Amino acid sequence: MAERKINVIDEIKKASRSVTTGIEEKDIEHWVEIYIMGKAYKVPAALTIMQAMEYAGYRFVRGCGCRAGFCGACSTVYRKKGEYRLQTAMACQTRVEDGMFLVQIPFSPAEKPSYDLGREKPEPSVFLKYFPEIARCVSCNTCTKACPQDLEVMDYIQAALRGDFRAVADGSFDCIQCGLCAIRCPAEIVHYHVAQLGRRMYGKYLNPLEKNAEQRVKEIEEGRFKEEMDRLLKATDEELERIYAEREREPD
Amino acid sequence: MPELRFIGGYPEYMRESIEVVNRTRPKRMEQPRAMTKEEREEVLKLHPDYAPGGKRKIRIGQNKGDIAPNEVVDLLEAYPLIQPGEIDLGKVDYETDILIIGGGLAGTTAALWANDSGIPKGKILLTNKLRHGDSNSMMAEGGTQAADRPNDSPAIHFIDAYGGGHFTNKRDVLRALVEDAPFIIKWLEGLGAMFDKNEDGYFEEKWGGGTCRKRMHACRDYTGLEELRVIRDEFRSREIPVLEFYPAIELLTDEGGKVVGAILWNMETEEYKVVKAKATILATGGFGRLHIRGFATTNHYGATCDGVVMAYRAGAKLRDTDTVQYHPTGAAFPQQIVGLLLTEKLRSSGAQPVNKRGEAFVFPLEPRDVEASALIRECYVRNNGITTPTGMKGVWLDTPRIDLINGEGYLERSFPGMVRMFKRFGIDMIKDPVLVFPTLHYQNGGVEIDPQARTNVEGLFVAGEVSGGVHGKNRLMGNSTLDCMVFGRRAGIFAAQYVKKGVRVGKLGLNHVERYVKELKEAGIRTDRRSPMLLPDYRGKAVLARMIDIF
Ligand SMILES: Cc1cc2nc3c(=O)[nH]c(=O)nc-3n(C[C@H](O)[C@H](O)[C@H](O)COP(=O)(O)OP(=O)(O)OC[C@H]3O[C@@H](n4cnc5c(N)ncnc54)[C@H](O)[C@@H]3O)c2cc1C
Ligand code: SF4
Ligand code: SF4
Ligand code: FES
């Protein structure tokens, strides 16, 4: 029995090899050719752009963070052979395709204005106060086309111009601050900073503060739970095990 | 080999089983019952953390004799990246009150509270290995626990976490966690974080595995992203100094053994910098990229255990190093996202693990280790898994069941990130199930702290995943983002207090490293391993074989 268990772990280890220790040529059936900054490399067809660059010999310092589509570190632009369109993607979330010419944009220069949320009022003018350049939007929709999260970026910039906090907050909620919109915008707007201000204003001022948490904080400050907690801290493990076993699960 | 034909993102051969899952869905309305204690014990023998092998004793340092995963011991029993003699400590590049190493939720929160506790912004320095925010924190999907509903209490939260931690949590530290939790949620709300709320303005709180109350606060399935980008925006608004691509590679100590700063390393120019600090807060996160036992991981690129290694050399005590958390549901298909997390919240919202024959074989909200073991058993012992084209095995997570229970549109609304991730690879998780297998997720133990986030080494504070004690040997979902903010805040406050009382920083030194090297040699540990690891290496084998170092 014990032997069998060791085998299970070994089998799992073997099955996961391609994502834990790097890929070996002999395991690959399908290949494509990509061009990393113009140089051709033959890479396994099943990989993301990020994995393919590693396969080709790159070891990332920049341009790689979460490896899961959350952090916005791996912005990439590419053109495919024979196509005029310049496309954008997150390297960790996009499969390589034959004939991709690609380069990463690991940094997008953009200053973020400082503000003290406590001193701002949720008035429509707050957007223009910190981001006057949004008035220069020419509605070309380039930002929307560039967004790897498929957000309606232009719409939320237009909403900011109108001072519609809810629309900015909702429309930009999935933004991973990758910077691709800002790099492409002819009006030099830094969309994701505008969105961040909008969401925080909305979260703080336009979404009523929750009452349960407020009440509970007060109760804790007043020492409502102190005695009970003191008891738990002193209880024997057997007592705590019993309490744990007897917990009642609230209904679904 | 002929090209595989894909339909709806899946190879044709997998579709057959998917059809069975889709067909049996209405018959699976009732959940399988939870396992008995005996059943749990039996299945747990298959868990990568309990199955024999994979761990050994640490031979040197404070925790000599303790057990840890081989991959961790390899880093502890390794030589430093630098030779103490080659570093000029005479020239100090940055002098500061508080140095914070690591900019996830823990480190960034610490900076704000140090500032709130009277340390001027110019006397705080945060340094990060990657960009500020590229971290495990960014990826938390499920939520953050806080006992704030009327039928809940800090005591119930405590019991859930203590039982979940197999009764090994450090109790006073756990107490701080549960008592600060509602405050942390309120604090975030005040900074403008957008938690999910219902029409009446109350938090929409969800189940988490192992809890007996619904207390998971979520921001759709981007909880960590929302929490961290709000906190980081506040950090940036306050203009607190920050360095990026500047990992710490060793702590500094003075004659008295206090931690008094660190050596940083510019990853691009390869130059080192010396930071002198009155207090140092370590917040470097976890170790998923060590791929313990060969498992794929949910963790970010920089999760390489650096903090534990550096602190250990400086004499800090570790605890609960013997356990590792695997998440039951990592993606097993497609290849591009293997290992990435499918949040537990999917299961608490109705998604069910189902085998290739369309049978629900496990209660979906068992504790993580039990749930993970049940999936492994289904795949590798009972052979009821589905094999992917690259040889991975997995079982289905029946996601369409979520809409069946909560109404159409719910899945898309509540899990936009998940839905998007699969859509990118042609899979519609609203209509079809997705393939899952356990994945390496969380570092349960770490550097031992007390309720003030202090360690046994003066001047060294620790917060977040790198710390040990609060979760004991097993963490519950939603307690670690909370841990980061509770102890990040406490580290900030108590480090500020420590600094304000007056700290005499002696001569900067690396005596602790020299001592450690001596101990390594005396223990007969001869190896060319070096640590901290900083980043993993995924370069192709063929390239590495022909690489020459001449430039
Ligand atoms: C995919 C995923 C989902 C999760 N979901 C949840 C959830 O729903 N709820 C929950 O409560 N928890 C969840 N967790 C766990 C939780 O997110 C993490 O445990 C927590 O955020 C860790 O925060 P941290 O600040 O300690 O570390 P991190 O957020 O990882 O930050 C550490 C930072 O330090 C940097 N660093 C590392 N080494 C060095 C060095 N040598 N020098 C300088 N900087 C360094 C790293 O690059 C990183 O930026 C999840 C984790 C993952 C990976
Ligand atoms: S790219 Fe710039 S100018 Fe064009 S629509 Fe977007 S914000 Fe407006
Ligand atoms: S809105 Fe801009 S910064 Fe945000 S995800 Fe889309 S392209 Fe990236
Ligand atoms: S590495 Fe984080 S989004 Fe790609």
CA distance A88 to chain B (A): 13
pLDDT digits (tens, 9 = 90+) for B55-99: 999 999 999 999 999 999 999 999 999 998 899 999 999 999 999
Q: Is the dihedral of CA A62, A65, A69, A71 positive or negative?
A: negative
- Among the residues of B284-398, which ranges form H helices? 306-313, 344-348, 368-376
Instruction: Tell me what ipTM this predicted complex has.
Output: 0.96
Query: What span, in angstroms and rounded, lies between the C-alpha atoms of B349 and B22?
Result: 18
Q: How far apart are CA A11 and CA A234, in angstroms?
A: 45
Please answer whether residues A98 and A33 qualify as being in contact, where contact means their C-beta atoms are separated by less than 8 angstroms. yes
SS3 assignment, position B447: strand
Cβ < 6 Å from ligand 3: which residues? A 146-147, 149, 151, 153, 175-181, 191-192
Q: If you take atom 9 of ligand 1, which residue's CA is the nearest one? A: B478
Q: Is B341 in the pocket of ligand 1 (CB under 6 A)?
A: yes
Out of A8, A19, A207, the one facing B339 most closely (by C-beta) is: A19
CATH fold group of domain A117-206: Fumarate Reductase Iron-sulfur Protein; Chain B, domain 2 (1.10.1060)
Q: Distance between CA atoms of B301 and B304, rounded to whole angstroms?
A: 8
Q: Is A195 in the pocket of ligand 2 (CB under 6 A)?
A: no
Which residue of B382, B538, B539, B543 is the best one to mutate when testing the A interface, meaning the one whose CB has the most A CBs within 10 A?
Answer: B538
Q: What are the strands, taking DSSP E only, across B152-271?
A: 216-217, 242-243, 248-253, 259-265
Chain B residues with beta carbon closer than 8 angstroms to that of A151: none
Residue given tokens 């979460």 in the structure block: A66
Q: Is residue B363 within 8 Å of residue B35, measured between CB atoms?
A: yes
DSSP β-ladder status, B272-282 and B94-101:
parallel
Q: Is the CB of B141 under 6 A from ligand 1?
A: yes
Q: Does ligand 4 lie within 6 Å of residue A63's CB atom?
A: no
Q: Would you say the C-alpha torsion B120, B122, B123, B126 has a positive or negative sign?
A: positive
- A 187-226: CB under 8 A from B: 196, 199-204, 207-217, 220, 225
Provide, as residue numbers in chain B, all residues whose Cβ is less than 8 Å from the Cβ of A17: 294
The answer to whether the Cα torsion of B232, B236, B239, B243 is positive or negative is positive
Tell me the C-alpha to C-alpha distance, in Å, between residue A140 and each of A100, A158, A186, B303. 26, 12, 9, 40
CATH of domain A31-104: 3.10.20.740
Of residues B51, B160, B337, nearest to A8 (C-beta)? B51
A66 with B182: Cβ contact below 8 A = no
Q: Do A69 and B45 touch (CB under 8 A)?
A: no
Q: pLDDT tens across A87-115, in order?
A: 999 999 999 999 999 999 999 999 999 99
Amino acid at residue number B56:
R
In this prediction the pTM is 0.96
Identity at A218, one-letter amino acid code: K
- Tokens 């303005």, located at residue: B201
Work out the angle at residue B480's Cα, subtended by the Cα atoms of residues B535 and B439, and round it to the nearest 5 degrees.
55
Within 8 A by CB and 6+ apart from A20, the residues are A13, B291, B294, B295, B296
Residue B548 corresponds to which amino acid? I
At B187, phi and psi to the nearest 5?
-60, -45
Amino acid at B378: E
Tokens of B206: 């969800």
* Span from the CA of A91 to the centroid of ligand 2 (angstroms): 23
Q: A200–B230: do the CB atoms touch at under 8 Å?
A: yes
User: Which of B226, B245, B338 shows the shortest C-beta gap to A61?
Assistant: B245
**Two tokens, residue B66:** 């303790």
User: CB A69 to CB B54 under 8 A?
Assistant: no
Distance A76 CA to ligand 3 centre (A): 12
- Cβ within 8 Å of residue A91, ≥6 positions away: A48, A49, A50, A53, A63, A64, A74, A75, A76, A104
Residue of A65, A73, A233 lying closest to B175 (CB–CB): A233
Q: What is the CB neighbour count within 10 angstroms for residue B409?
A: 10
Residues of B labelled catalytic:
327, 347
- Specify the residue with its C-alpha closest to ligand 1, atom 17: B137
Q: The tokens 């053994």 sit on which residue?
A: B257
Residue to probe by mutation, ligand 3, list A153, A155, A190, most atoms within 8 Å of CB = A153
Report CA Rg, chain B. 24
Q: Is B92 helix (H, G, I), strand (E, B) or coil?
A: coil
Phi, psi of B360 (to 5 degrees): -80, 120
A57 touches chain B (CB under 8 A): yes
Which SS3 state, helix, strand or coil, does residue B118 take? coil
**How far is it, in rounded angstroms, from Cα B66 to Cα B57?**
5
Q: Side chain identity at B243, as an amino acid letter?
A: L
CB of A108 within 8 Å of a chain B CB? The answer is no
Contact A229 B155 (CB under 8 A): yes
CA distance linking residue B181 with residue A225, whole number of Å: 13
Q: Where are the domains of chain A?
A: 31-104, 117-206, 211-245
d(CA B498, CA B142) in angstroms, rounded, equals 35
Question: Is B195 in Cβ contact with A14 (below 8 Å)?
Answer: no
| Domains and their CATH numbers in chain B | 6-28+325-362+371-440 (3.90.700.10), 94-324+443-512 (3.50.50.60)
Q: Which residues make Cβ contacts (< 8 Å) with residue B360, sequence separation at least 6?
A: B28, B31, B32, B352, B353, B354, B398
Determine if the peptide bond prior to B69 is cis (ω within 30°). no
Is there a contact between A16 and B392 if contact means CB atoms under 8 Å apart? yes
Per-residue pLDDT tens, chain B, 551 aa: give them: 456 678 889 998 999 999 999 999 999 999 999 999 899 999 999 999 999 889 999 999 999 999 999 999 999 999 999 998 899 999 999 999 999 999 999 999 999 999 999 999 999 999 999 999 999 999 998 899 999 999 999 999 999 999 999 999 999 999 999 999 999 999 999 999 999 999 999 999 998 888 999 999 999 989 999 999 999 999 999 999 999 999 999 999 999 999 999 999 999 999 999 999 999 999 999 999 999 999 999 999 999 999 999 999 999 999 999 999 999 999 999 988 999 999 888 998 999 999 999 999 999 988 888 999 999 999 999 999 999 888 889 999 999 999 999 999 999 999 998 999 999 999 999 999 999 999 999 999 999 999 999 999 999 999 999 999 999 999 999 999 999 999 999 999 999 999 999 999 999 999 999 999 999 999 999 999 999 999 999 999 889 999 998 98
